[in-house]
Structure 1
Amino acid sequence: MSTNPFLDPTLVHGDLYRGNDRLADRTHALHRAKISGSDVADTIAHLLAARVPRGAVVLDIGCGRGTTTLRLTDRLRPRRLFAVDASVALLRTTRDRLGAAGALGSVVCADFHHLPLPDSVADAAVVAFCLYHSPTPGLAVAEIARCLCPGGTAVLVTKSLDSYGELDHLVHAAELDPHATSRPSLYESFHSGNLHTIVAKNLTVIDVHHDEHVFQFADATHLARYLITTPKYRITLTGGIPNLAEALQQRLSKPPYTTRSTVSYAVAVRP
């Protein structure tokens, strides 16, 4: 079993994504804190729209709660769209959001190493913020490439190894996790530094774009709301957000608390 929770199948298929709440709370806390950096879903849709005509068949692999899925339906007007995720709970949210928006799309519960889709079925694929859950991301890329038509386009998105690294030092300084600064990056399997190499084994990489995102947590409660959603640390303090916020307020310097993440986009085509 890996010491990295993002590579622990028991956690990935269990507590991390069994429900919708943790990911929703994490996303909300980050969005509130974000002070710079492009909107990821908009960037993905823009990159695909430049290469893929309307009416295409599109895969959204690791669709999560469906934010990018909705943007793709609006921007690309696909003939068919498959939203794929291994989490039933997240797929339920995506399906409900598609329905509420009056958008067409099929949800597929599947592991991205074994997609229940025919060869050469799609004109485009999005693979965002999910391949770092695989100890063998190259095999997942090969499976996604199989599903693309020759000449089909993929946009693959991940984060840098040092994303949110400033929080490691804050958690350590607040004496919440003595090993916070030595724990492996959640993104060690598939990150900005190895993105090109892994993707290029099965697809032709056209471009790689890096975008720095900056986040500023306004106060201890805001930071606590984010920290309680991340599986990286081993915080044993009980009492939930109020007690965590109190500990942060007492042990750290005054807010705001700033952290950074590099989001990297690879645009690639199937030869």
Structure 2
Amino acid sequence: MSDTTPFLDQQLISGSLYGNQQRLAARTGALLSAKTSGRSAAEVISALALQACSSVGGLVLDIGCGRGASTVALARSLPRSRVLALDASAALLVAARHRLQQSGWQAATIQADFHQLPLPAGRAELAVAAFCLYHSPRPRRVLQEIARCMAPGGTVILATKSADSYAALDRLVAASGLDPQAETRPSLYGTFHSGNITALAASVLTVHDVRHETHRFRFHDLAHASAYLATSPKYRLPPGLSGNPTAFAERLSERLPDGPIETTSEVSYLAATVPG
């Protein structure tokens, strides 16, 4: 492995992280069930997109679409635009297509690496890259590739989180002794986060709007927290715990008192245009 963080390990990304949708679905489900405040990211992104789009039938890109939550929101908000969802994971694209089918909205999908998009230059009116650029060791290169695909004056919407998101959960794992170094492990958001999103975007694009929102979470107990913790590859855990929330919860309960766990995450949104 050439990178020191699992979140940049391309074999891991294409394998256990996103080779199927189960881990991401479990992770997202655990977070949503613990969320106590904070707007839906798809809601914010679709509102920003609606403000930006002016032409009828323009091409809209959802880059790193994942399981398609933002794709459906874009298709619903911009029904006369042509939405194209792209992701490197074939499994996640299957999930996105299923979500589109269930919603009744339409979008095309294509498997692609965001470092080299299979698209002509200067065609897209709008591009969204939400919660994905941190999987690149060179996010500026991805921004340059996105800009290549945009029409002059086209809008790019980016979203990410703070590097210290869910820090209370890292402290929990460290305190349990299951990974004493949990608080120092590389963050998922290490290369592209709330602290550098503006500077990176401004090196390629003309930034117009940056918003930071604090999201709050309350996990009911150790078992609830374990449903999320077991999905993270960041920790160095004893055998049998990664991907196994039941075993994770049992080990935590042996070492820590049970009870609610509260944590936060800063979510950042940025809207910019491609210089004309």
TM-score tier (shorter) = over 0.9
Q: Deviation string for 1:93-151 (max 9, x for gaps)?
A: 11122123222211110000100001111110100000000000000000001111111
Q: Deviation string for 1:62-113 (max 9, x for gaps)?
A: 0000011001111111431110000000001111221232222111100001
Q: Which residue of 2 aligns with 1:27?
A: 28
Q: Which residue of 2 aligns with 1:261?
A: 265
Partners of 2:75 and 2:177 lie apart in 1 by: 45
The one-letter code matched in structure 1 to 2:260 is: P
CA RMSD of aligned residues (A): 1.3
Partners of 2:163 and 2:225 lie apart in 1 by: 21
Q: Which residue of 1 aligns with 2:156?
A: 154
1:116 aligned residue (110, 115, 118): 118
Q: 5+ unaligned residues in a row in structure 2: which ranges?
A: none
1:251 aligned residue (235, 255, 259): 255
User: What is the TM-score of this pair, normalised by structure 2?
Assistant: 0.95
Q: 5+ unaligned residues in a row in structure 1: which ranges?
A: none
Partners of 1:190 and 1:100 lie apart in 2 by: 32
Residue 170 of structure 2 corresponds to residue 168 of structure 1: yes
8 Å CA contact 1:176, 1:237 repeated in 2: no
Residue 237 of structure 1 deviates from its aligned partner by 4.6
Partners of 1:198 and 1:241 lie apart in 2 by: 36
2:18 is paired with a residue of what secondary structure?
A: coil
Partners of 1:78 and 1:97 lie apart in 2 by: 19
Partners of 2:143 and 2:245 lie apart in 1 by: 38
Residue 11 of structure 2 corresponds to residue 10 of structure 1: yes
Mapping for residues 106-255 of structure 1, pairs under 5 Å: 106-238=108-240, 240-255=244-259
Number of positions where the alignment pairs a residue of Structure 1 with one of Structure 2: 271
8 Å CA contact 2:213, 2:266 repeated in 1: yes
8 Å CA contact 2:87, 2:93 repeated in 1: yes
User: What is the TM-score of this pair, normalised by structure 1?
Assistant: 0.96
Partners of 1:170 and 1:227 lie apart in 2 by: 10
Superposition misfits of 4+ residues, deviation over 6 angstroms? none
Partners of 1:172 and 1:79 lie apart in 2 by: 48
The one-letter code matched in structure 2 to 1:21 is: Q
1:253 is paired with a residue of what secondary structure?
A: coil
1:108 is paired with a residue of what secondary structure?
A: strand
8 Å CA contact 2:173, 2:182 repeated in 1: yes
8 Å CA contact 1:47, 1:155 repeated in 2: yes
Partners of 1:129 and 1:11 lie apart in 2 by: 17
Percent identity of paired positions between Structure 1 and Structure 2: 50
